[in-house]
Amino acid sequence: MQQNNNSKKKEQVQIDYDLFRDLLMIVCAESSDQNIWDRAAKGLMDKLNKRINRQLYTQFKTAITPEQREQARQKYLDKVGIPERYRYSQEYAEEQRKSTST
């Protein structure tokens, strides 16, 4: 059997066992326990936020141009909640790397 070359490989996502168990209770056991629903919703939102943060970080590290890299870095720092006053510029980081390598 030939596989379609245009089809993308499906991504795998790992979740905590507790979240898996809660999802099973909701889907298979048709649980109406609001605590289980709340835990599952929180667990899924936490997982989604982690995936988004990882995607933004990856975009920052793999950007082709310095402008794209800086834009992706700022998006990542905004998402993870780093205040502006604690951020440094990319130029400063480059200068620090150069000065410590010489």
Whether 11 has a pLDDT exceeding 90, the answer reads no
- 2 part of a folded domain: no
Summarised one tens digit per residue, pLDDT across range 16-44 is 999 999 999 999 989 899 999 999 999 99
Residue 11 in any domain: the answer is no
In a domain, 73, yes or no: yes
Q: What domain count does the chain have?
A: 1
**pLDDT tens, position by position, 39-62:** 999 999 999 999 998 998 899 889
Identify the band that residue 3 occupies on the pLDDT scale cut at 50, 70 and 90.
low
Rounded distance, CA 26 to CA 37, Å? 7
| Mean pLDDT taken over the chain | 85
Domain that holds residue 79: 17-101
Residue 13: is it exposed, middle or buried by C-beta count within 10 angstroms (0-12/13-18/19+)? Answer: exposed
CA–CA separation, 54 and 51 (whole Å): 5
- Rounded to whole angstroms, the Cα distance separating 49 from 44 reads 9
